[in-house]
Amino acid sequence: MIAVLGAGSWGTALAIVLADNGHDVRLWGQRQEQMDEINEKHTNEKYLPNIHLPEAIVGYVDLVKALEGIETVVLAVPTKAIRDVLQRVRTCIERPITIVSVSKGIEPDTHKRISEIIEEEMGERLQDVVVLSGPSHAEEVSLRHPTTVAVSSKNMDAAERIQDLFMNHQYFRVYTNPDLIGVEIGGALKNIIALAAGITDGLGYGDNAKAALMTRGLAEMARLGSRLGANPLTFAGLTGIGDLIVTCTSVHSRNWRAGNMLGKGYALDDVLANMGMVVEGVRTTKAAYQLAKKMNVDMPITNALYDVLFNGKDVKSAVDSLMARGKTSELEDLANISL
């Protein structure tokens, strides 16, 4: 029995994987009518339209009941809700639990990764935290289309247990990667680049601009990541370039879609109000901007996006100012290693 906290797109899609793998799943959400829909109709139309959910998924609105006797919890709420949800979880459990973190972001102001927030909030009530990340749109996972992700943890035995839980030999393939920092930083920062890629698409620029953003975006992801202690090679893997590709090139991506609307001239508040789902890249842009300043790491795309999102800079001038920068070498400061 596994509990999945957060009945949005990703929590529900991962509940399907777990149910397909033979597990009973308690899917916890905060709205009674949504849990009734899951239990009576076996659907979650708002987040995964036209998908029939396996009957092994049972919706719970009562967190105490959802967590009764549970040892493994998948945490699938937006990053801004994580502290609040964990503070409630802590009071509901009697023994330490393993938490699988599947949310992607960095916290503004504290600059903590999600696994660090989980450790801080759970204290002694935490057995292990395992991060699951990679190129994986919920919409495609729920259709059982072939998908690959990676898991990482400070305790790789725990990561392997979670690999076994999620991996199946039909459509969901799970790799391990011991580089916890790289896995989390890649998954968080790719959302910034996806917003930027959406903007250039919205402005009507073509494939050259998008390839430039993705490549130079990956360079700045690796630059900050390696300064934080990540292995630069992780950025060439599923949780780096893999997730960057899927997020920058897919209409499923909420970050790309939000960027696309900004590129077409819509205001940020209207874009977010109309999305109806989380756009993590906005909050992560603030965190990465602050972190890059603090650590003196050059992140031109992140800085340009920060100006668009938080200083009202017009999108076209943000792209123009990126192109107007002084000359540099492609490999300069690419990673915190000597080349």
Ligand X SMILES: NC(=O)C1=CN([C@@H]2O[C@H](COP(=O)(O)OP(=O)(O)OC[C@H]3O[C@@H](n4cnc5c(N)ncnc54)[C@H](OP(=O)(O)O)[C@@H]3O)[C@@H](O)[C@H]2O)C=CC1
Ligand Y SMILES: O=C(CO)COP(=O)(O)O
Catalytic residue among 46, 65, 190, 327: 190
Helix (H, G, I), strand (E, B) or coil at 181: helix
Strands (E) located in the chain? 2-5, 25-28, 57-60, 72-75, 97-101, 126-133, 147-153, 172-176
Query: Is 47 assigned a ligand-binding role in the annotation?
Result: yes
If contact means CB under 5 to 8 A according to the sort of partner, which of ligand X, ligand Y, none does residue 8 touch?
ligand X
Q: Pick one of 277, 313, 334, 336: the residue that binds ligand X (CB under 6 A).
A: 277
- Provide DSSP, 288-312: HHHHHHHHT---HHHHHHHHHHHS-
Q: Pick one of 162, 246, 288, 322: the residue that binds ligand Y (CB under 6 A).
A: 246
Residues 23-82 that bind ligand Y (CB under 6 A): none
Q: Is 121 in the site for ligand X (CB under 6 A)?
A: no
If contact means CB under 5 to 8 A according to the sort of partner, which of ligand Y, ligand X, none does residue 59 touch?
none
Dihedral angle computed from the Cα positions of residues 99, 104, 108 and 113, in that order, rounded to the nearest 10 degrees: 50
- As a whole number of angstroms, the distance between CA 49 and CA 263 comes to 27
Residues 193-222 that bind ligand Y (CB under 6 A): 194
Beta-carbon count within 10 A of 56 CB? 16
- Give the CA distances from residue 150 to residues 120, 183, 195, 332, in Å, rounded to whole numbers and listed in that order: 23, 8, 23, 28
- Give the helix/strand (H/E) hosting 323: helix 315-323
Q: Please say if 210 is a catalytic residue.
A: no
CB of residue 3 to ligand X, shortest distance in Å: 13
List Cβ neighbours of 21 (8 Å cut-off, separation of 6 or more): 165, 166, 167, 168
Query: Is 255 assigned a ligand-binding role in the annotation?
Result: yes
User: Binding segment for ligand Y among 23-31, 242-250, 259-267, 329-337 (CB under 6 A)?
Assistant: 242-250
Nearer to ligand Y, 35 or 102 (CB): 102
Nearest Cα residue to 331 out of 323, 320, 339: 339
If contact means CB under 5 to 8 A according to the sort of partner, which of ligand X, ligand Y, none does residue 253 touch?
ligand Y
The mark string for 53-82 relative to ligand X (x by CB under 6 A, - otherwise) is -----------------------xxxx-x-
Tell me which residues touch ligand X (CB under 6 A). 6-11, 29-31, 47, 76-79, 81, 84-85, 102-105, 136-138, 277-278, 280
Tell me which residues touch ligand Y (CB under 6 A). 104, 135-137, 191, 194, 243, 246-247, 252-255, 280
